[in-house]
Amino acid sequence: MTNELEERRKKATIKAIPRKHAGKVVEPYKILDRLIKEVSDFAPLKKAAFCIAWKSGWRCDKDGILKRAQIRKASEVEREVYGEFDFVLLLHKELWQSSSFKGEAREMDVFHELCHAAPDIDDATGEQRVDERDRLCWRLRKHPIQEFPAVIDRYGLEASIGVNEEAVAAVDDEASQAAAQAAENDLDRPIIQTGGESQGGPQGRLAGREGRTARTSQNAHQETH
Ligand SMILES: [Zn+2]
C-alpha cells in the first residue's frame, strides 16, 4: 500500500493489552493487581474485572493539560456483548513508552484511576448493589479536589482542599434547619384541607423531583480521568 493510501486510513487508537506476554503478567496488570492487593481502600475492587488498553494520540490541550489515563465503567451493552469486564483502564501509550515515565509515575496514574472505581452501594442496606442477573454493580467517583494553582497560591493548600467539605456541611446544616422549620409549620396546619392542594404542595414536590433527576444524571457519567 502506498503511503498516501495508508495515511487516509482511519487511525486505530485503542489496543487492548493482553494480560500476559511470554507467560508473564505484563507491567500495567502487575501494578494494578499489586495496588488492589496492597491498598485497603481498593479491597472491594478484588471482585471487579479490569481490561487495560493502550490509548495513543492523546495530546496536550489548550490549557496545557495532558490526559495521561482514563477509566471507563463498562456500559450494560458492553458488558453483555463484548465480555464481562466491569472497568476499562486506558493508558497513554506514547507516555508509557518514554524513558522518563517509569516506576512511581506509572504507579501513580494507575492508583489515581483506581480511586475513581468504586462499588455501587445501596444506601438502604449498606451492601453493594447487584443487578437482576446477580452481577455486582459499580460506579465512578468524581475528584473531591479540583483546583486552579492560583487559588492554592493565594489561599493555601489546606484551605483549598477543605473548602468543599465545609460547604457541604454548611448546606446540610441549612437544609436540616429548613426541614425542621417545615416540620414545625406542618404541625400548625389543619389536617383536613378544603379545595385543591395548597400552593406550596405541587411546587415543592416538583422541586424535589428535579433535584433527584439532576443527581441521577450526574451519576450517569460512564468515564472519567
Ligand atoms: Zn481522575
**How many angstroms separate the alpha carbon of residue 58 from the centre of ligand 1?**
15
pLDDT at 127: 96
- 24 with 119, same domain: the answer is yes
Residue 35 lies in a domain: yes
**How many angstroms separate the alpha carbon of residue 104 from the centre of ligand 1?**
17
Strands 138-140 and 50-55: unpaired
Grid cell in block for residue 36: 488492589
How many structural domains compose the chain?
A: 2
**How many angstroms separate the alpha carbon of residue 32 from the centre of ligand 1?**
16
**How many angstroms separate the alpha carbon of residue 225 from the centre of ligand 1?**
4
Grid cell in block for residue 125: 442496606
- 105 with 169, same domain: the answer is no
- 34 with 116, same domain: the answer is yes
- 80 with 155, same domain: the answer is no
pLDDT at 174: 78
- 44 with 154, same domain: the answer is no
**How many angstroms separate the alpha carbon of residue 116 from the centre of ligand 1?**
7
CA distance 28 to 158: 33
Provide the 10 A C-beta neighbour count for residue 44.
Answer: 15
User: What DSSP line would sit under 30-44, residue for residue?
Assistant: HHHHHHHHH-GGGGG
pLDDT at 83: 75
Burial of residue 3 (CB within 10 Å: 0-12, 13-18, 19+) is: exposed
CA distance 212 to 201: 17
**How many angstroms separate the alpha carbon of residue 112 from the centre of ligand 1?**
6
pLDDT at 15: 95
Residue 27 lies in a domain: yes
Model pLDDT for residues 92-133, shown as the tens digit of each residue: 999 999 999 999 999 999 999 999 999 999 999 999 999 998
**How many angstroms separate the alpha carbon of residue 81 from the centre of ligand 1?**
27
Model pLDDT for residues 77-90, shown as the tens digit of each residue: 888 887 789 999 99
- 122 with 22, same domain: the answer is yes
**How many angstroms separate the alpha carbon of residue 211 from the centre of ligand 1?**
25
**How many angstroms separate the alpha carbon of residue 92 from the centre of ligand 1?**
14
- 102 with 175, same domain: the answer is no
- 17 with 128, same domain: the answer is yes
**How many angstroms separate the alpha carbon of residue 21 from the centre of ligand 1?**
28
Residue 62 DSSP SS3: coil
**Residue numbers of the domain that contains 173:** 146-188
CA 11 to chain centre: 28
Predicted confidence (pLDDT) at residue 5 exceeds the cutoff of 50: yes
Burial of residue 166 (CB within 10 Å: 0-12, 13-18, 19+) is: exposed
Q: 44, 14, 64: which is closest to 115 by C-alpha?
A: 44
- 64 with 152, same domain: the answer is no
Model pLDDT for residues 189-208, shown as the tens digit of each residue: 655 444 444 344 334 333 33
Predicted confidence (pLDDT) at residue 184 exceeds the cutoff of 90: no
Mean predicted lDDT score pLDDT of the chain: 82
Provide the 10 A C-beta neighbour count for residue 126.
Answer: 7
CA distance 49 to 61: 31
**How many angstroms separate the alpha carbon of residue 106 from the centre of ligand 1?**
14
Does the CA dihedral 116-120-121-123 come out positive or negative? positive
